[in-house]
Amino acid sequence: MANTLIEIAYDGTGYSGFQIQENALTIQELLESSLSLIYKEPIRLTGAGRTDAGVHARGQIAMYKAPFLIESDSLPLAINASLPLQIVVTSASVIPDYFHVRYDAVRKVYSYTVDRLQYPQIFLRRYSWHLPGLIDTVLLRKAAAIFPGTHDFKNYQVSGNNNEDTIRTIYSLKVEECEDSGVLKIWYEGSGFLYRMVRLITGTLIRAGEGKVSLNSITESLSGDNKTAVGPTAPAKGLCLEKVIFHGQ
């Protein structure tokens, strides 16, 4: 059995996230179906992380036990042959038996795209949150500077999803503004993220930029004192898993 790693890019529009579910079409289900056709037996994937319904990825990572070896250069072509156009395996490699995509992942990088032009940009409409109103990017950046570090993000998870461990570390949170294209891009790099945590932080940053929530209130939300400062949950379509970083990288 060969421990095999694949890297996947996908347009999450119309899919119920990465992880396999009953009565819902997911990225994992389609990948496993393609792999099972190739190996002529059921194959089960393990992903480095879960993406929600409608969320995209450029650098999702998954692993599986292959019953026999296929050349790494040929394997993506074979898998892609039976996948829909919205899902593409971009690389494959054999990895050591001790390696695990979930437990050996130390950081994840996400981006969130905001379209700020007056009218929605047609080629961004599936991949961005359209916000034509006034946003003070100076205030937004000041709000973004509050989040890096290790904090208790219990207020930044979707209601009803009460994780016991809500301590996470955000290593960097950067805001890029491109006036020519009308795009605002927010980059997150962290040890891991709670369910919808990035989307809730994004919604909070936007409210700060609109002058609807104070910087002090956001600081209080990280100490557990002010949950009303959090959100709203930004739409899934603006979020993309860019990269998974492992030990030694």
Q: Do 115 and 204 share a domain, yes or no?
A: yes
Q: Do 90 and 109 share a domain, yes or no?
A: no
Residue-level pLDDT at 162: 64
Query: Which of 26, 59, 94 is at the close of a domain?
Result: 94
d(CA 232, CA 195): 14
Query: Which of 49, 64, 94 is at the close of a domain?
Result: 94
Q: Do 24 and 81 share a domain, yes or no?
A: yes
d(CA 175, CA 167): 23
**Active-site amino acid positions:** 52
Buried b (16+ CB within 10 A) or exposed e, 84-93: eeebbbeebe
DSSP code, position 227: G
Domain count, the chain: 2
CATH code for the domain of 31: 3.30.70.580
- CB-based burial label for 200 (10 Å; 0-12, 13-18, 19+): buried
Q: Do 66 and 121 share a domain, yes or no?
A: no
pTM value? 0.95
Which structural domain, as residue segments, surrounds residue 204?
A: 105-246
Residue-level pLDDT at 226: 80
Please give the single-letter amino acid code of residue 154: K
Please give the single-letter amino acid code of residue 217: S
Residue-level pLDDT at 178: 86
Residue-level pLDDT at 84: 97
Residue-level pLDDT at 158: 84
Residue-level pLDDT at 1: 80
Three state DSSP letters for 83-123: CCCCEEEEEEEECCCCCCCCCCEEEEEEEEEEECCCCCCCC
Q: Is residue 70 part of a domain?
A: yes
- Partner residues linked to 220 by β-bridges: none
**Token code pair at residue 198:** 């990035």
Query: Which of 68, 94, 120 is at the close of a domain?
Result: 94
Q: DSSP secondary structure string, 19-56?
A: S-BTTB--HHHHHHHHHHHHHTS----EESS---TT-E
Q: Is residue 100 part of a domain?
A: no
Residue-level pLDDT at 68: 92
DSSP code, position 128: S
Helix (H, G, I), strand (E, B) or coil at 153: coil
Residue-level pLDDT at 160: 64
The mean pLDDT values, 10 residues at a time, for the chain of 249 residues are 94 96 95 97 95 97 95 95 97 94 95 97 97 94 97 87 84 92 96 95 98 95 86 97 88
Q: Do 54 and 125 share a domain, yes or no?
A: no
